[in-house]
Chains A and B, each alone.
Chain A
């Protein structure tokens, strides 16, 4: 059972079950806990090779035991996500912990990933359970519905879930090259039905400069 203690510490109450968490993110625990490093994100040999090839490496540990375990990472804000059979797409660097029952994997994102400076691949989390994602400043959760598509700055995007199509839109015009661009030259457009998590801060991206 995931709960937040403050906005920057995740507390997980466990009764013999397990969670997967970012390596080294445990700050405290009480009760009996066993920490086991999972090579390749616990996705087996195939997952390990995929992650190595795609640059979506994450070092994950499995925590199993009885009691409460607290996780935190560099005082980042933590956001809880509930998954009911749908899929969460998140950058591996933003993923703090998931229920052990959730399947993680990698997927191709194409140009969107490139515009964020995060590479062409992203991490997926799938199944029924809870996940905790990190953001710089508390994330704002925005709903995407068929009548209200959402456009997001690549530097502020952290994750999305649900049945959402994303497309990449560019506002690069000849003016960009004269230094008179709109400052928002690259955007991601989300359509469909789902949720998008954005953080109140922008990572440094190529898009930020034009």
Chain B
């Protein structure tokens, strides 16, 4: 035993490569991944420490071409991701947010791009048709961060846009506006500006069908990852084709972006 332990077993737990958990949480905010000459995809800068021999390479690294071809289909996110390659144990954390791992068994899950921390290459990462979200397909483990613990809900459900982390196995959500929100120019203005007594809950995302919806227990969003632009083609939601109805159903509406409401009121 080393001399630097706390006396009498009191004090903090000291971890070494033997006692660190395998692909599990060390505490609520730190996750340990074991690599046995394997690979994991992770978001840049989320590794806090590792034991062993692990190499970190950008997605564009030539040797990883085959891996990227089979598991990474989100070219616009490529600069945010790296591949950890080697043997050892690696600790992941993200700005002291809660981290959790989830297992997908031949399933699919869509998640806000800023919340996804790492995933096994047995999963395939694709860009969701909903801007700002990523979809994981296949079987394997992934690690996601959330602001506060994650709650699981079942559709039918309406959720606050800021609390939504992701959803699994159910269709993409649609927007839901409370009736009062849509009546008259004043109602619209009130809801948009918050002046004159809006409750702040006039707008929700509505989920239907069978599946699971993941919510975080706060309405403070985690910083978004830049998701880039999708190809500018007719029929691609958010493709920015002039004259088309750019906003797809289910796109998170950004503050200050009025979209179809703007047209409706002739503003």
Residues of A within 8 A of B (CB): 79-80, 82, 84, 86, 136-143, 145, 148-153, 155-156, 161-162, 171, 175, 178-184, 193-196, 198-202, 208
Nearest-CB distance from B44 to chain A (Å)? 3
Interface centre among B17, B28, B54 (most CB of A within 10 A): B17
Interface assignment of B56: CB less than 8 Å from any CB of chain A:
yes
Interface centre among A180, A182, A199 (most CB of B within 10 A): A182
Q: Do A208 and B45 have beta carbons less than 8 Å apart? A: yes
Known: A150-B50, A151-B50. A145 touches B16 (CB 8 A): yes
Nearest-CB distance from A58 to chain B (Å)? 23
In the assembled complex, the Cα of A149 lies from the Cα of B89 at a distance in Å of 12
Known: A183-B82, A202-B95, A208-B45. A140 touches B27 (CB 8 A): yes
Nearest-CB distance from A6 to chain B (Å)? 15
Interface assignment of B48: CB less than 8 Å from any CB of chain A:
yes
Q: Do B49 and A152 have beta carbons less than 8 Å apart? A: yes
Q: Which residues of A contact B177 (CB under 8 A)?
A: none
Residues of B within 8 A of A (CB): 2-4, 6-7, 11-17, 26-30, 43-45, 47-51, 54-61, 79, 82, 91, 93-96, 99
Interface centre among B2, B4, B17, B43 (most CB of A within 10 A): B4
In the assembled complex, the Cα of A145 lies from the Cα of B19 at a distance in Å of 13
The chain B residue sitting closest to A194, CB to CB, is B4
In the assembled complex, the Cα of A145 lies from the Cα of B18 at a distance in Å of 12
The chain B residue sitting closest to A138, CB to CB, is B27
Q: Do A202 and B79 have beta carbons less than 8 Å apart? A: no
Total cross-chain contacts (CB, 8 A):
132
- From B4, B11, B26, B29, contact of A80 by CB (8 A): B11
Q: Do A182 and B30 have beta carbons less than 8 Å apart? A: no
Nearest-CB distance from B144 to chain A (Å)? 14
In the assembled complex, the Cα of A143 lies from the Cα of B54 at a distance in Å of 18
Nearest-CB distance from B197 to chain A (Å)? 33
Q: Do B2 and A193 have beta carbons less than 8 Å apart? A: yes
Interface centre among A137, A155, A180 (most CB of B within 10 A): A137
Q: Do A162 and B4 have beta carbons less than 8 Å apart? A: yes
Q: Do B93 and A201 have beta carbons less than 8 Å apart? A: yes
In the assembled complex, the Cα of A82 lies from the Cα of B99 at a distance in Å of 29
A-B residue pairs in contact (CB < 8 Å), sample of 19: A137-B93, A140-B91, A141-B15, A143-B2, A143-B16, A150-B51, A153-B48, A156-B48, A181-B58, A182-B58, A183-B82, A196-B49, A199-B96, A200-B27, A200-B48, A200-B93, A201-B95, A202-B48, A202-B95
Q: Do B93 and A142 have beta carbons less than 8 Å apart? A: no
Q: Which residues of A contact B44 (CB under 8 A)?
A: 183-184
Q: Do A153 and B12 have beta carbons less than 8 Å apart? A: no
Q: Which residues of B contact A84 (CB under 8 A)?
A: 3, 7
In the assembled complex, the Cα of A82 lies from the Cα of B7 at a distance in Å of 8
In the assembled complex, the Cα of A148 lies from the Cα of B52 at a distance in Å of 7
Known: A82-B7, A200-B93, A201-B96. A140 touches B15 (CB 8 A): yes
- From B55, B59, B91, contact of A180 by CB (8 A): B59
In the assembled complex, the Cα of A162 lies from the Cα of B7 at a distance in Å of 15
In the assembled complex, the Cα of A63 lies from the Cα of B3 at a distance in Å of 30
Q: Do B58 and A180 have beta carbons less than 8 Å apart? A: yes
The chain A residue sitting closest to B79, CB to CB, is A179
In the assembled complex, the Cα of A149 lies from the Cα of B50 at a distance in Å of 9
Nearest-CB distance from B187 to chain A (Å)? 40
Nearest-CB distance from A101 to chain B (Å)? 16
Known: A80-B12, A148-B16, A153-B47. A180 touches B60 (CB 8 A): yes
Q: Do A82 and B14 have beta carbons less than 8 Å apart? A: no
Q: Which residues of B contact A153 (CB under 8 A)?
A: 45, 47-49
Rank and list the top 6 A-B pairs by shortest CB-CB distance, nearest first: A137-B96, A183-B44, A200-B93, A182-B56, A156-B48, A180-B58
Nearest-CB distance from B252 to chain A (Å)? 26
Q: Which residues of B contact A141 (CB under 8 A)?
A: 12-15
Q: Do A79 and B12 have beta carbons less than 8 Å apart? A: yes
In the assembled complex, the Cα of A140 lies from the Cα of B12 at a distance in Å of 8
Nearest-CB distance from B89 to chain A (Å)? 9
Q: Do A82 and B16 have beta carbons less than 8 Å apart? A: no
In the assembled complex, the Cα of A161 lies from the Cα of B14 at a distance in Å of 12
Q: Do B16 and A175 have beta carbons less than 8 Å apart? A: no
